[in-house]
Amino acid sequence: MKEGLIDRRTGIFLGLLFLAVVLVPAGNLLVSPGGAGHVPSYMVALLGKYLTYALLAVALDLCWGYVGILSLGHGAFFALGGYAMGMHLMREIGDRGAYANPVLPDFMVFLNYKELPWFWHGFDMFWFACLMVLLVPGLLAFVFGWFAFRSRVTGVYLSIITQALTYALLLAFYRNEMGFGGNNGLTDFKDVLGFSLSADTTRAVLFILSGLALAGGILLGRFIVTSKTGKVMVAVRDAESRTRFLGYRVEHYKLFVFTVSAVMAGIAGALYVPQVGIINPSEFSPANSIEIVIWVALGGRGTLVGAALGALIVAATKSWLTAALPEAWLFALGALFILVTIFLPKGVVGLIEDLKPGRRTPAAQPEPAE
């Protein structure tokens, strides 16, 4: 029997997401401060950031949970999408910057740039920036995957190479001569498409767009994994050599999923930047990519919805712990990963499924009499 595009678990999550997309902006824009149900402006931006994290987790789960590609470099695709959008937002500032230069961003004036670098041209147009959000992470993933998968690099070796790629980009973007703001990155954004980023309506729209992007990412993922391609993907994950022996071009399936996943991560980064207000090389940190793996493992690998749920849980817990226990939250995060690995191999979603009423472990069959 063919699996439907929207199963019960996905339908429940999308329903709750729809409610959040409606109620959070309404609580911010329609309910006066101090009133019951009012959502503060900072909370709208914070929750929007969480939704971009959830989309990033779905992107990783698509290639790790269904094809077995444990990427420790998805933070790089996320950051590249963020930088593409950040470059547009910097060009939008124009002569309103500290140095009032209509063409060069403030950091370029400070570093004595004489002209705009060639790779910054075109980012004054929103459509071009959106195109780069898709192309830059997607092209990097395609080129990297083309060489890695054709060379049959798998397992821990692939994971190490993806992390090395992320670290190389981290070091490169820290350099001032790269033209991306160096250590400080890109910040001090003013508006997008003429709308102030500090306005409540803009924050609400960005939150809604983040929710829609997450829903779209989950639906796209479901469309892929429930198709014939998805069945081959799972076969590659569970028995790559046997799948290759049956005549399937395994590297093509891996390359397809890896590229789609990178594009989704880039979109998440592009939505993250205007809501947070900054993008710097720390987003390339290998630790960030490892944390994404924790999100997926906690929620439930190979479920899509579980990955999004895991990202939301960890992000919310991290925000609370950094305020309550600022010196211990990293230890708590590590302990969480260990506990989940040992006691919740199927993640939170698997635990929920096991706790469903009427779901019992089959009784042991009596041994036949001798």
Kindly report the number of other CB atoms within 10 A of residue 348's CB atom: 18
**Cα–Cα dist 354/109, whole Å:** 59
Answer yes or no: are the C-beta atoms of 280 and 98 closer than 8 Å: no
Query: b vs e for 215-241, b when ≥16 Cβ sit within 10 Å of the residue's Cβ?
Result: bebbebbbebbbeeebebbbbbbeebe
pLDDT range class, residue 358, cuts 50, 70, 90: low
pLDDT in tens, 282-310: 999 998 998 999 899 989 899 999 999 99
Cβ-in-10-Å burial (0-12, 13-18, 19+) of 46 comes to: middle
The predicted-structure confidence for 73-114, as pLDDT tens digits, reads as follows 999 999 999 999 999 999 999 889 888 889 999 999 999 999
Query: What tokens were used for 343?
Result: 């006691």
Q: What gap in Å lies between CA 217 and CA 185, rounded to an integer? A: 28
Lowest mean pLDDT among 145-159, 219-233, 348-362: 348-362
> Max Cα separation, the chain?
93
At 176-211, the pLDDT tens digits run: 889 999 999 999 999 999 999 999 999 999 999 999
Tokens of 132: 């780069």
Cross-strand partners of 196: 191
* pLDDT of 368 higher than 70: no
Q: Where are the alpha helices (DSSP H) in the chain?
A: 8-29, 41-67, 74-93, 106-110, 126-150, 155-174, 200-225, 228-238, 240-245, 250-276, 286-299, 305-324, 329-343, 347-354
**Number of Cβ within a 10 Å radius of residue 64:** 25
